[in-house]
Amino acid sequence: MSPLLSVSRYLALIPVVCLFLAATALILFGAASTVQLLFGLMASVRLDSTATKDLLVKAIELADLFLLGTVLYVIAVGFYELFIDDTLKLPAWLVIHDLDDLKDKLIGVVIVVLGVVFLGQVITWDGQRDLLRFGGAVAAVIAALAYFLGQKPGKAGKNQGR
C-alpha cells in the first residue's frame, strides 16, 4: 500500500496543470484586453470626466483579472511544491513549505482582490447603491482573514509582546 500512496501524490499534477492553464488563460485574456483598451483609447480621444471614469473602471477590471490569474498561478505552484518537487528555484515570497504557507499566500491575495473589487465599486458608485454596507462587509471579511492569519501558532508569541 505504501508504494501506491507514494505514487498517488502525482495525482496533484491534475490540479497543477488545470490551474496553470487557467492562470495562463486569464493572463493572456488580460493582455489582449489591455491591447484592446489601448487601441480603443487611441480611436476615441475623449477627455472628459466620463471617459476618465470609464478608463479607471477598465483599468481596475484589468488589475482584478491579472490578480485572479496570479492567485491561480500561486496555487498551482504551491500544489506543485507541496506534492511533487519542493526544489524549484523561486523567489523567496513564493516558496511554500506546507499547506499553511499556501493558505497564507492565498489569503493575502484574496485580501488584495477584495480591496480592488471595493475600489471598483467606489469608482462606479452612482449614489443609489448602499456602498457603506458593501464596504462594511468587505472590511469584515478582510478583518476575519487578517485575524485568521494572526492566529497561527508560530505568530502567537510575536503578537503577545505588543
| Residues 141-155: tens digit of each pLDDT | 999 999 988 887 665
Q: Is the pTM of this model over 0.85?
A: no
Residue 95: left (phi > 0), alpha (psi -120 to 50), or beta?
Answer: beta
The beta strands (E) that lie in 34-125 are given as none
* Burial class, 38, CB count within 10 angstroms (exposed 0-12 / middle 13-18 / buried 19+): exposed
Domain ranges of the chain: 2-154
Q: Which residues contact 65 (CB under 8 A, 6 or more apart)?
A: 26, 29, 30, 33
Beta strands, E only, 2-146:
none
**Amino acid letter for position 43:** A
Q: Strands, DSSP E only, in 43-145?
A: none
In whole angstroms, give the CA distance from residue 156 to residue 162. 11
pLDDT over 70, % of the chain: 93
Reduce the DSSP state of residue 96 to 3 states and report it.
coil
What confidence tens digit (pLDDT) does each residue in 81-122 have? 988 988 888 888 888 888 888 888 888 888 888 888 888 888
